[in-house]
Amino acid sequence: MPSPIRSALQHARFRRQAAPARFAIAEHVDWLNPTHWDGLTDGRGFLFCRGYHRALAAVLPPNVSPRYAIVYRGDEPVAAMAMQLVEVQGARLRKSPPAAGLRGLPARLADRMQQRVLVIGNLLSYGNHGVAVRAGCEGDDDVWHGVGEAAYRVRRAEKHTGSADFVLMKDLDRDLLTQSALLQKLGFRPVETEPNMVLTLQQQWRGHDDYLGALTKKYRKNLQSRVLAPVEAAGLELCAIDDVAAAAPRLQELYLAVHENAALRPVTLGADYWPALARAAGDRARFAGIRRGGDLLGFIVTLRDDEHTALGYHIGFDREVSTELPLYLRLLQRTVEDAIGLGARRLSLGRTALEPKAALGARPEPMHVWVRHRQGVLNKLLRGLLGRLHHDEAPERSPFGKQ
């Protein structure tokens, strides 16, 4: 068995070796070969589509700049990468209170941090929307070596505008964790985050009533008495938001009411994002609102990403009204209804509010991010810090009884 020092030296030499790959790198997705990009991302969902990235580029927050790459083996495209360069203030990354989510960064240290981070993935979504590997090449170390070098080349090319010290590969699922040994050789360190909560939608469900009928008597009674009945008794109405552009100013207010209460908020969307998303997604997206008379009190966006999966994507609601009425829980029920209507088999709900999503019937799916600092010494320090971070575990709930 090689000594730790010898292994470290071997890994350092490996990181300095060029990958057996070629690269096309661009600041806009349309500047890459469209046939190659579409061939690599086919079947990977709407959030990999050029149309989505084209629309997103026009409405990105000012601290986010997109980058794209295609990795080639010879003349064969083997991986597509969607990346974001992000200027991050540390105060927007620490969680408070400490009991929620990742813990470990002292508040004073976090508040003084300011970093430029290269994210392989999309900070506006959850799940792997950063790397699409050619079918059959998922376990090829040379391909992943190329992915790592593409990120290195992007980071190095940005030195004149400010160095990107951190590279973060976002939300790799269990299937891609087989690449862990190779990623560690490249200097990346894994961090398990809160899980993605996923509700399986049964094929026989044709609407919300079918979902309700599948719940056990206890959960159905609680849902009716604590969520559905109070909202109905208060005269609130659930409805589709057909004119997203007209509703955009109010959507932005409701989004900010929730977003600004979150401790992890590296990017903040603008009001122009909502109509841009609606236009790009078309019938893949459903914007639903909860109204009292003419006043919009909350909204939720459900997005059909790929053939099987819908996302409970964006949410916003009046926080003052929510102290009296269960707006959030009612909107969660609406996203179940809309996901069924979109023909999805899975509803991905993200990694926050684990308890109510578990009560909905969602199950946790482990998620990881991989991080690397450009300086070797700090990368070792980072390894120790990451070992001290913790995340919340999803509670065990069985609203459908024994399965």
Reading the block at residue 376, the tokens are 């070797």
Note whether residue 308 is domain-resident. yes
Residues 355 and 225 in one domain: yes
> Any idea what the CATH number is for the domain that residue 338 is in?
3.40.630.30
Number of H helices, E strands in the chain: 15, 15
Q: Please, are residues 169 and 128 in contact by the beta-carbon 8 Å criterion?
A: no
pLDDT in tens, 351-386: 888 999 999 999 999 888 888 876 554 445 444 444
pLDDT in tens, 11-35: 555 556 777 899 999 999 999 999 9
Query: What proportions of the chain, in percent to the nearest 5, are helix, strand and coil?
Result: 40, 25, 35
State the chain's mean pLDDT as an integer. Answer: 85
pLDDT class for 264, splitting at 50, 70, 90?
Answer: confident
Residues 207 and 296 in one domain: yes
Residues 110 and 8 in one domain: yes
Q: Please, are residues 11 and 185 in contact by the beta-carbon 8 Å criterion?
A: yes
Residues 354 and 370 in one domain: no
In single-letter form, the type of residue at position 332 comes to L
More confident residue, 104 or 38: 38
Quote the domain boundaries for residue 256: 197-364
Residues 137 and 255 in one domain: no
pLDDT given at position 378: 47
Residues 201 and 191 in one domain: no
Residues 233 and 262 in one domain: yes
Residues 298 and 376 in one domain: no
pLDDT given at position 6: 56
Note whether residue 401 is domain-resident. no
- Name the residue among 177, 188, 187 with its Cα closest to residue 368: 177
Total residues belonging to the chain: 403
Model pTM? 0.86
Question: Per the omega criterion (within 30 degrees of 0), is the bond before 356 cis?
Answer: no
Read off φ and ψ for residue 20, nearest 5 degrees. Answer: -75, 65
pLDDT class for 48, splitting at 50, 70, 90?
Answer: very high
Note whether residue 23 is domain-resident. yes
